[in-house]
Amino acid sequence: MLIRPWLTLTPIQAGGLLIFAMLPPAVVNYVIAEEYQQEPHKVAAIVMLGNVMSFISLPIALVFALPL
């Protein structure tokens, strides 16, 4: 993690920060875009891409976040 040296985090906190950073985007973004008619189809595509990419990135993050 690039910002870890500047933060005073325990190893557990650093692992939690990494895991939360790797989580996919929330679906509430689509709901807000739909409500205000601000390109909801584009937002839905971004949310879907983020969820698909989380299948790849989350296991990698867990390898680095959890001690062996």
Tokens coding 32? 């807000």
Instruction: Give all strands (DSSP E) within 1-68, no chain letters.
Output: none
For 18-48, write each residue's pLDDT tens digit: 778 777 778 888 899 999 999 999 999 999 9
Query: Global pTM?
Result: 0.64
Annotated domain spans of the chain: 25-68
In whole angstroms, what is the distance from residue 16 CA to residue 60 CA?
14
Is 50 a residue whose pLDDT tops 80? yes
Is 1 a residue whose pLDDT tops 70? no
* Cβ atoms within 10 Å, residue 4: 13
% of the chain exceeding 70 in pLDDT = 91
Give, rounded to a whole angstrom, the gap between the first and last alpha carbons of the chain.
18
Per-residue pLDDT, 15: 79
Cα 18 off chain centre by:
9
